[in-house]
Every structure is written in C-alpha cells, then in structure tokens.
Structure 1
C-alpha cells in the first residue's frame, strides 16, 4: 500500500515537473555559449536572478505586486460571484443587464487603463481596479452559467421542503454552481497576473512590471529576462496553490465524477 502511494506521488511529480524541466534543459542547451546581446545564456540569467530578486527588490517590488494582485483578484471574485448570482437567478435582471454586460465585456481591460487613471489617479487604487476590470468577467459569466444550470429536480426538492432564502442560496445554488465558479476563478487568475504587469507599466514607481520595463530601457537584458522568469515561476506557483485549494473545496465534486466513471 505504501509502495503504491509512493509510486503514485512520484508519477504525479513527474507529470507536473517533467515538461517544465525539459523546457529549461532545452533553454539551457540552446543558449549555452550565446554571444547574442539580447539572448544571454540561461546560466547568466539565473545568476542575475539570484542577485536581483533575493535582496532588497523582493520587498520593494515583488511584495507590492503580490498585494495588488491579491486585493484585485479577491475583489473580482466578490463582485463576479455576487453579480453572477443576481443575474443568474433573476430572468428580469438578466434581460436588463445582459446587453450592458456584453458591451463592457468586449472592451479589452488594457484600453481602460488611461480611463481608470483619470478617476483613480496613478496609485495602487488604479492598479487594483485594472485587475478587477479584467478578472471579474470570466468569474461573472461562469457563475451565471453555473446558476442557470442548477438541477431542476434539486430545485423542486428544496421548494417542497421549504428551503428558501439564504439556506437555498448556500446549500443549493452556490454548491451546484461551484464547479463553474471555480473554473472562472482559474481563468481569472492568469488574467490577473497579466493585468498586474500591465498596470505597473503605467506611471508606477515599483512592482514587477515597472522593474522589468526599467531593465529593458537601460539595456540590462539579463536582469530583464530574470524578471520574465520570475513572472513565469510566480504564475506556476499560484497555479499549483489554486489547484490544491480547488481539490479541497471541490473534493465532493471530483469524488462524484470518479464514482460516475467507475460505477
């Protein structure tokens, strides 16, 4: 039993880390001995990585970016899920808001950066609002679809037993829509990282996006590549954390699907 568990863990680790390690190996071999100013060897990039991102910049640039990312993402989750529940449960609200929501959804969030700067200034509020403006849409739309797909039999059962109001919302609507909601949250996470970087490229004084652009403008190419590498590792780490949280929150759903596949 223990041997089987160890084998399964090893197999999972190889599946998760196999492709990234392969890509890093190819990158290392392809750039080894490179004399191209714009494509330095990976060994040089890793050296700069340890010099740049393990010192003062960790607190002055990485931490502020993570704080903005977290605040913007959580606000997008609250707004997206809340508005999605309202739109999904009320046909009248959906008919009224759907044209407006489709109009705003079609506007690329980076285009809104100058507009948001006019109202929110150039501080952290602007950067958080940029993240919210792009992240809320996949959460909102997936929440609406999840709410509309609630099983009619379960809905009638709740009605028969007099389960209404907050109890119905919590135990039926949110629970039934949670797989769709989590899907929207997963999509929004990658969008949040992108918008975090974009927002920090406009009138900023710190953050990952600001620092990477500064390296590019001063032709500190290895340092610039180290910032890009840090963003990739950050995205990978956040994806892993999200998957762990998803497996815990949706354990009942994944168990149900496994039982349906293996009756």
Structure 2
C-alpha cells in the first residue's frame, strides 16, 4: 500500500513539474510586457474568472463538449467497425486501401466548406467535421491491430470452432484493443482541434466562436483565457482517457509489466 501511494505521488509530481516550470517561465518572462498582443500572465489569469463565468460555460463550453463527444463517438464506432472488416479480409483490404489512403491525405479543415454545403451550418456540420478527422487514426490502427492477431491463437480458435461473433468478441477485438486505443488517443487530440476550427465557421456559440469574437473585438486578454481554457480541457480529457484506457486494458498492462525485461 505504501509503495502504491509513493508511486502515485511520484507520478503526480512528474506530471505537474514541467507545467509548473513553464508557467513560472511565462510569468516572469511576461512580467514587464507592454505589448497589447502579449499581455502579462498575471493579467490573463486575473481576467479568467471574469470571462468564464457559469453562464458562459453553459453557453459556450458545454455545447463544444457535446459536439466533440458526438463526433468522437461516431468516429470511434465507424472506425472500429470498418477497420475490423478491412483488417479481417485481404481482398477487402486490397480494394479499399488506395481509397482510404487518398481520403486520409485530405486535411479535414479543407472539407469544412464541402460539409457545409450538405449539412448546413448547424451542429450537424460541426459533428461531421469532427468525425471526418477523428475516424482515420481509429480506422487505420484498427486495421493494423486486426491484422496483427497472433496466427497461433487464430488457428487455435478455428480448431475449437470459435467463429463468427464469438471469434470477434473473444479473440479479434481483445487482441487489437491496444492498437485501437492508440488510434483513439490520437483521434482525441485531432477532435479538439477540429472542434475549434468547425466553430469558427458560421457559428453562434462554442469555444472557437468565442475566441474569434474576442480576437475581432481586440479583447486580447480574454482571447488568451480562451486558449488557456482549451489547454486545460485537453489536459482533463487526456487524464480521463488514460484512466479509461487503464481500466479497459488492465490485462494488457499487467502482462506487459509481468513480462521479463532484457537487461
């Protein structure tokens, strides 16, 4: 028990050490700044509670998080489903791979005007933009994870008559889950970026919309508070994701920690 507490304290210390140093450097480096575009950090932090009140959090932050969650969930479901099919069948992979590589190479922000033509300017457009960018890391990592299933385990499952949904549930998805979560982790950071970008086009609320409004109104400290809030949200979402990953892949991390290490 004592070792666990010590390890937790050490991980917490390592997690906050670098951010603390960076904030301290920013604080002292900007202390005497008179540039209107780069205000002192003390000014930004002093403005933060006045800008991000409970009402603004409900009107701007909550809608952004709802759009991010919806787009991310759609991308996760579609990516895992399509990736499992493409990774399981060689012929399907041979047919789909050129198209997937072509679509993956198209930057999602470029698709915003196209998506607006078909989905309008409401929340559907924003969710579609987020999903269109988040789906690729999930899809491609799922394909690689499914392809990397141990052939010995696959042959053993076939010998015991484990086929169809049972094979998918008990062999393919568990074996591919570390790779799938790697794609989901990449997709989360992409989703946050696309959430902001999508809200800069024909929006009436959201974090991206609010930050642009601050910039256009030359409310520079307010704009910086929005950027700081985005960073904090990204950090909190990353912490939540790591906790979910740790619980879901507990068996995998246990096997990896128990495996003998080379000197």
TM-score range, shorter chain: over 0.9
Q: What is the aligned partner in structure 2 of residue 121 from structure 1?
A: 120
The two structures have a TM-score, normalised by structure 1, of 0.97
- 1:92-131 equivalence runs, <5 A: 92-131=91-130
Deviation at 1:132, TM superposition (A): 0.5
Q: What is the aligned partner in structure 2 of residue 36 from structure 1?
A: 35
Deviation at 1:93, TM superposition (A): 1.1
The two structures have a TM-score, normalised by structure 2, of 0.97
- 1:1-263 equivalence runs, <5 A: 1-2=1-2, 4-261=3-260
Deviation at 1:7, TM superposition (A): 2.0
Aligned length: 262
User: Could you say what secondary structure the match of 1:222 adopts?
Assistant: helix
The runs of at least 4 aligned residues of structure 1 exceeding 3 Å deviation read none
Distance 1:123 1:152 in 2: 47
Distance 2:201 2:46 in 1: 28
Deviation at 1:169, TM superposition (A): 0.1
For residues 98-135 of structure 1, the C-alpha deviation after alignment (integer angstroms, 9 at most, x for no partner) is 11111111100000000000000000000000001000
Distance 1:113 1:158 in 2: 45
Deviation at 1:49, TM superposition (A): 1.1
Distance 2:46 2:115 in 1: 38
User: Could you say what secondary structure the match of 2:218 adopts?
Assistant: coil
Distance 2:166 2:86 in 1: 19
For residues 82-104 of structure 1, the C-alpha deviation after alignment (integer angstroms, 9 at most, x for no partner) is 00001000111111111111111
What RMSD in Å do the two structures reach over aligned CA positions? 1.1
For residues 142-189 of structure 1, the C-alpha deviation after alignment (integer angstroms, 9 at most, x for no partner) is 000000000000001101111111110010000000000000000000
Distance 1:217 1:261 in 2: 58
Distance 2:221 2:227 in 1: 10
Distance 2:30 2:260 in 1: 46
User: Could you say what secondary structure the match of 1:219 adopts?
Assistant: coil
Deviation at 1:262, TM superposition (A): 5.0
Distance 1:229 1:15 in 2: 21
Distance 1:24 1:250 in 2: 33
Deviation at 1:55, TM superposition (A): 2.9
